[in-house]
Structure 1
Amino acid sequence: MLTYTPPESRPAAKTREKPWLLMLMAFAWLWPGVFSHGLWNPGEPAVFAAVETLQQGATPLAAEVLGEPAFQISPVYLWAAAAFQNLFSPWAATPYDAARFAGVLFTVIGLTSCGFAGFNFLGRHHGRSVALILIGCFGLLQMAHFMNTLTVGFAALGMILHGFSLAHRRVIAAALLLGGGSALLSLSAGFALPLALLAMALLLPLHPQWRFKRYYLTLLGALSIGLPLLVVYPFLLARLQPALFDLWLNRHIFGSFGGLADFQTAFSLPYYLKNLLWFALPAWPLALWTLMRTRADSQRWSILAVAWILITLTLLAAMPRQFQDYLVWLLPPMALLGAAQLDGLRRGAAAFINWFGIMAFGLAAAFLWVGFFAINYGWPAKLAERAAYFSPYYTPDIDIVPMAVAILFTPLWLLAITRKNIKGRQAVTNWAAGVTLVWALLMTLFLPWLDAAKSYAPVVKQMQAALPADLAQRFSDGRECISVAAHDDRARLAWQQYGSIILHTDADCRYRLVQQPKDSAAPQGWVKLWQGARPRNKTEGFALLERAE
């Protein structure tokens, strides 16, 4: 007897996709660059100094760098970094590496939350596509692997997107994610972005797609949870650190826009649009493709993503500070849009993305392997000469573990790109695999070479090695001192981390460390004893001066 089975009750069709491969790729993408190097500019020295200060007993409510509050550094990141240091340093990781685990944690939260949002909004398999698009975005690489407190904001935005995706079926979970994510976001970006997203959430019911009972209940629950959480930090700061509260309220409550006393704006839209082209690649072309195939107001997820992008772009356009990492605020909605029509991507477009990724990342990987032989074995000679020019402090250093990782990644990538009948999702997977390969090779084969060029350690050691033995002894026992200007943060942070000589801020010393371009003449009344700089840095240099008799 023939029977009819409704579509919704039929078992799901089998798929050849393997979720564990996505988890393996994400794991492989997360860790290269976290280990085995010093503090790199622009942000790592200041963040690590704040972590050290917290470990020494400073208030956990605000970051402190060189004795000054630094509200641009999220306190949540400091708490996580300090916790990882206590757990893993020194037995399993160096203090630098352990502090970077905080960025890994928040990146995992952001990727996972965005993936679940894709699954809830778009359906089966699309959560993986959202995560793959994010992994493939160039802008997320440096942020996720180095000490960057904006990873807290990425995690918070992922939670908020996840909360919106649950509003139609799980009100309590959606309210918790929206409220908690907004509070967490305020501790990373200030109050401007959370309030803008809150206004967006309140305005979404103007469209019929978001006009349903469970969303109203979600909004009510999110406000009931989020608003009290938003005031917890200001309340604690006001009660425990009144002076810091006044500073935060008047100069930092709105993040980069300032505070109540000095709210600032500027026109920065061209800067952010220009940097978005590479920062959000391949998310933005895929998002445009989705908008070309789908009306922006036809689905709940498209309405949300477009509204999110427009509101965030408006904030960035008025941002007084131009800092490319703020573009991470756009990645969750762009990745969601980009994943929506991956299966409908034309075969020619998918083939082009796949071909371009294979060519670009394949050539980059081949160049890195050739470069590895050049910097360590001197062949090819011309390339070895250029490598020495850009990183003259590097000495050949071959470690078996990074070599094994690099050797493993290359054939796995070759295996991934040999699949036939490439469609949209496979093209994005291959792109993410190519990004992972190049990043892994760069952070294994070239890591010591990069560290010698980007770290301040060689510069500090050069200065101390250049000192006569008797002068170094006088510095050590306090008979002589070296002064440094209070505003020379880079010099103070570098010598604090890598030097054994204590610098005295604005002291009346016979010797003075100044920050000036290399080969600059000594100021009148001073004699230059030493000068140094990181390789190929034409604007930043250091000089040790002695007062002329």
Structure 2
Amino acid sequence: MLTYTPTPPRSSPSFRERPWLLLLLAVAWLLPGIFSRDLWHPAEPAVFTAIEEFFAGGNMWLPTVLQQPYFEASPVYIWVAALFQKLLYPWAADAYAATRFASLLFTVIGLMCCGNAGFRLLGQHQGRSVALILIGCTGLLTMTHFLTGYSVVFAALGMCLYGFSLAPTRVIMASLLLGGGWALLSVSVGFLVPSTLMLTALVLPLSSHWRFKRYYLTLIGAFVFAWPLMSVYPFALLKSNTAAFSLWWNDFMFGPFGGMNNFQTAFSLPYYLKNILWFAFPAWPLAIWTLTRSKLAQHGWGVLASAWLLVIGFLLAINPHQYQEHLVWLLPPLALLGAAQLDGLRRGAAAFINWFGMMTFGLLAIFLWIGFFAMNYGWPEKLAERSHYFSPYYTPEINTIPLVVALLFTPIWLWAITRKHIRGRQAVTNWAAGVTLVWALMMTLFLPWLDAAKSHAPVVRQMEAALSPELKTALSNKLACIGVDRNARTARIAWAQYGTINLATDADECRYRLVQQPKGSAVPQEWDLIWEGARPRNKTEGFALLARHKPKDDIKPIE
């Protein structure tokens, strides 16, 4: 009698874990973009100026830019950036690169905390998946490699997530991390975001998964640790500068939402829904996959991530300011949800993510290589014309070390994407490798081209080249001066960083004046236009050097 014996199901192929590959990928993702470039507009010049003024004896609790309070950057970030500049400049890096290591450090802290939280909440190997998903999110690139205080926010959010994950096993460490994260958030982004996360922590016991003794002890310890720390900054600011404290209290206490006297809200949900599509990819589609596969209420991590997303999502929806960086508030829970069911991702979905990444990053890499030849060798001609249009101050420049780095990254990426038996974790790894490849090519092949477009250095050099030899001599001998308005902050910072001429702030006696206005603006009747310029394709910001028709009789040398 014929019988049918079914074929035994194939077991899923086992994959050898290689932690060193994750470390190598993280290093390759972190380092490009830190070195060999100027300060890029808009945030970097202001933050670096705040660090310089801190070095010059400024108030350690009140960052200032041109002696004006600057609440956009956390004092903690200024301290750490100043420390890195002290440690690394000039023997290991230039001043700009040395200070950027602060952003790198806080990003590493955030990645490690989120990864460890994934390990604690989801199980072995899932921490790596959380870290890979975050590396693959392009929204983290700018805050990692630029001078911006938002890397501190990412680190603080990671500390909070890690603190929640440690509550079942290590109460003291969980309390320190959770309370420290709240305190760091309060000094970085105002009191509203940490207060919202505190409220989230208080309501978690509504779920049975968070209704246990160790969690209650963690909450008590976190609040006991956080509240005194959160009061240090306002108390120190009050004692050191009463006027600045009043400004912070009235306008900046709640971060982007304002202060006690002008608390503001607006409907910003469409803006953040639109930008999260690229900012948090692939975290958000993987999180949706988890939603379709798991009942979040049945898991402690699901309750935590859902509550976090709901309350912080509401804050974003009513945020009066539309800044892409604020979407980092959602990245830790999204990455956690994305990693939860990553190993259960269907082979077709994993293959699609892998294919989409191969096509997207492969085409971008090809375009970047062709663009490199176009801007340096003039071929293809049309692309060379467009590259000159967007960065007209760029002069062809080929540096050996960046070129070698770019040549190494490309075959390594090709090797990574040609592996067989692609599953969820391998697809996410390949996506992160693709992001790293494109970023590395941009920060090696295209770095001088981007630097010429985003830095004010070429504009400053153009203005100084336009000065006559007689005027240069008079300026060096302090027989003439160039005035600038106190409110022209961009001009004052740019010429202080890249210029060789000292501008005189609000000096009406100067015959010459540097004004900050759109290129092509009308010149006042009493003045003649000597020079005007702007960064490429910038229609709202420009600079002009003016001279009076006749010098004033009472012009005196500048002391």
TM-score by length of 1: 0.96
Matched, 1:23 2:7: no
Question: Which residue of 1 is the match for residue 398 of structure 2?
Answer: 398
Q: Once the 2 structures are TM-superposed, how far is the Cα of residue 510 of structure 1 from its aligned partner?
A: 2.1
Question: Which residue of 2 is the match for residue 325 of structure 1?
Answer: 325
CA distance in 1, matches of 2:276, 2:488: 32
CA distance in 2, matches of 1:24, 1:525: 62
CA distance in 2, matches of 1:380, 1:243: 58
Q: Once the 2 structures are TM-superposed, how far is the Cα of residue 14 of structure 1 from its aligned partner?
A: 7.7
Question: Which residue of 1 is the match for residue 296 of structure 2?
Answer: 296
Question: Which residue of 2 is the match for residue 9 of structure 1?
Answer: none
**TM superposition outliers: structure 1 runs of 4+ over 3 Å:** none
Question: Which residue of 1 is the match for residue 557 of structure 2?
Answer: none
CA distance in 2, matches of 1:359, 1:252: 44
Q: Once the 2 structures are TM-superposed, how far is the Cα of residue 349 of structure 1 from its aligned partner?
A: 1.0
**Higher alpha-carbon deviation: 312-321 or 475-484:** 475-484
Secondary structure at the aligned position of 2:515 is classed as strand
Q: Once the 2 structures are TM-superposed, how far is the Cα of residue 504 of structure 1 from its aligned partner?
A: 2.3
**Higher alpha-carbon deviation: 152-161 or 521-530:** 521-530
Question: Which residue of 2 is the match for residue 523 of structure 1?
Answer: 524
Q: Once the 2 structures are TM-superposed, how far is the Cα of residue 317 of structure 1 from its aligned partner?
A: 1.7
Question: Which residue of 1 is the match for residue 269 of structure 2?
Answer: 269
Secondary structure at the aligned position of 1:38 is classed as coil
Q: Once the 2 structures are TM-superposed, how far is the Cα of residue 154 of structure 1 from its aligned partner?
A: 0.3
Question: Which residue of 1 is the match for residue 174 of structure 2?
Answer: 174
Matched, 1:544 2:548: no
> Which amino acid in the other structure matches residue 526 of structure 2?
G
Question: Which residue of 2 is the match for residue 474 of structure 1?
Answer: 474
Question: Which residue of 1 is the match for residue 555 of structure 2?
Answer: none
Secondary structure at the aligned position of 1:193 is classed as helix
CA distance in 1, matches of 2:207, 2:17: 36
Question: Which residue of 1 is the match for residue 7 of structure 2?
Answer: none
Question: Which residue of 2 is the match for residue 8 of structure 1?
Answer: none
> Which amino acid in the other structure matches residue 529 of structure 1?
I
Q: Once the 2 structures are TM-superposed, how far is the Cα of residue 520 of structure 1 from its aligned partner?
A: 2.5
> Which amino acid in the other structure matches residue 528 of structure 2?
V
Matched, 1:249 2:249: yes
Matched, 1:90 2:94: no
CA distance in 2, matches of 1:306, 1:547: 64
* Cα deviation code 1:244-292 (max 9, x no counterpart): 2222222211111121122222222211111111111111111111111
Question: Which residue of 1 is the match for residue 343 of structure 2?
Answer: 343
> Which amino acid in the other structure matches residue 179 of structure 2?
G
* Cα deviation code 1:216-244 (max 9, x no counterpart): 01101111111111111122222233332
Question: Which residue of 2 is the match for residue 190 of structure 1?
Answer: 190
CA distance in 1, matches of 2:372, 2:392: 15
Q: Once the 2 structures are TM-superposed, how far is the Cα of residue 15 of structure 1 from its aligned partner?
A: 4.8
* Kept in 1: contact 2:59–2:240 (CA 8 A): no
> Which amino acid in the other structure matches residue 349 of structure 2?
A
Secondary structure at the aligned position of 1:445 is classed as coil
Secondary structure at the aligned position of 1:365 is classed as helix
1:134-145 equivalences under 5 Å are 134-145=134-145
* Kept in 1: contact 2:251–2:262 (CA 8 A): yes
| Structure 1 unmatched ranges of 5 or more | 1-12
Secondary structure at the aligned position of 1:289 is classed as helix
Question: Which residue of 2 is the match for residue 437 of structure 1?
Answer: 437
Question: Which residue of 2 is the match for residue 5 of structure 1?
Answer: none
Q: Once the 2 structures are TM-superposed, how far is the Cα of residue 523 of structure 1 from its aligned partner?
A: 2.6
> Which amino acid in the other structure matches residue 181 of structure 1?
G
1:64-463 equivalences under 5 Å are 64-463=64-463
Question: Which residue of 2 is the match for residue 500 of structure 1?
Answer: 500
| Structure 2 unmatched ranges of 5 or more | 1-12, 551-559
> Which amino acid in the other structure matches residue 536 of structure 1?
R
CA distance in 2, matches of 1:358, 1:102: 32
CA distance in 2, matches of 1:374, 1:156: 43
TM-score by length of 2: 0.94
- Residue-pair matches, total: 537
Question: Which residue of 1 is the match for residue 536 of structure 2?
Answer: 535
* Cα deviation code 1:303-330 (max 9, x no counterpart): 1111111111111122222111111111
Secondary structure at the aligned position of 2:26 is classed as helix
> Which amino acid in the other structure matches residue 513 of structure 1?
L
Question: Which residue of 2 is the match for residue 7 of structure 1?
Answer: none
Q: Once the 2 structures are TM-superposed, how far is the Cα of residue 428 of structure 1 from its aligned partner?
A: 0.4
Q: Once the 2 structures are TM-superposed, how far is the Cα of residue 515 of structure 1 from its aligned partner?
A: 1.9
**Aligned-residue RMSD, C-alpha:** 1.3
Secondary structure at the aligned position of 2:343 is classed as helix
CA distance in 2, matches of 1:297, 1:524: 71
CA distance in 2, matches of 1:109, 1:370: 36
Q: Once the 2 structures are TM-superposed, how far is the Cα of residue 481 of structure 1 from its aligned partner?
A: 2.0
CA distance in 2, matches of 1:477, 1:71: 38
Secondary structure at the aligned position of 2:260 is classed as coil
